[in-house]
Amino acid sequence: MKPSFSTLFLLLLIAIGVAFDKGVLTVPREWNPFAPLVVSDPFTPMTRLKLKALADDRDACLAALDTAPEIAYTPLEDYTPVAGCPLENVVRLSRAQVAFSSSFVASCPLVLAWTMYEQHELQPLAERLLGARVASVQHYGSFACRNIYHRENARRSEHATASALDVAAFRLADGRSVSVLNDWDDASEKGTFLHDAKAGACQYFGTALGPDYNAAHANHFHFGMRGVSFCH
pLDDT digits (tens, 9 = 90+) for 163-203: 999 999 999 999 999 999 999 999 999 999 999 999 999 99
Considering the domain architecture, whether residues 66 and 156 belong to the same structural domain is answered as: yes
DSSP 135-183: EEEEE--S----BGGG-TTSPBPGGGGT-EEEEEEEEETTS-EEEHHHH
208-225: pLDDT as tens digits = 999 999 999 999 999 999
Considering the domain architecture, whether residues 16 and 121 belong to the same structural domain is answered as: no
Q: Which residue has the higher pLDDT, 133 or 14?
A: 133
30-70: pLDDT as tens digits = 999 999 999 999 999 999 899 999 999 999 999 999 999 99
Considering the domain architecture, whether residues 147 and 59 belong to the same structural domain is answered as: yes
Considering the domain architecture, whether residues 9 and 120 belong to the same structural domain is answered as: no
Considering the domain architecture, whether residues 26 and 63 belong to the same structural domain is answered as: no
The DSSP symbol for 103 reads: E
Percent of the chain with pLDDT over 90: 79
Considering the domain architecture, whether residues 2 and 43 belong to the same structural domain is answered as: no
At 223 the pLDDT is 98
CB 43 within 8 A of CB 115: no
For the cut 80, the answer to whether the pLDDT of residue 10 exceeds it is: no
Considering the domain architecture, whether residues 186 and 196 belong to the same structural domain is answered as: yes
Considering the domain architecture, whether residues 36 and 61 belong to the same structural domain is answered as: yes
Considering the domain architecture, whether residues 74 and 21 belong to the same structural domain is answered as: no
For the cut 60, the answer to whether the pLDDT of residue 8 exceeds it is: no
- Domain count of the chain? 2
DSSP-derived pairing of the beta strands 72-75 and 90-95: antiparallel
DSSP-derived pairing of the beta strands 90-95 and 99-107: antiparallel
Q: In the structure, what pLDDT confidence band is assigned to residue 96 with cuts at 50, 70 and 90? A: very high
Quick one: how far is CA 197 from the chain centroid? Answer: 12
Considering the domain architecture, whether residues 71 and 163 belong to the same structural domain is answered as: yes
Question: Measured on CA atoms in the order 99, 101, 105, 107, is the torsion positive or negative?
Answer: negative
Torsion of CA 55, 59, 63, 64, to 10 degrees: -10
Considering the domain architecture, whether residues 102 and 63 belong to the same structural domain is answered as: yes
Q: In the structure, what pLDDT confidence band is assigned to residue 9 with cuts at 50, 70 and 90? A: very low
Considering the domain architecture, whether residues 165 and 226 belong to the same structural domain is answered as: yes
146 CB-near residues (< 8 Å, 6+ apart): 156, 157, 159, 160
The residues pairing with 209 across neighbouring beta strands, listed in sequence order, are 222
**Containing domain of residue 12, as a range?**
1-31
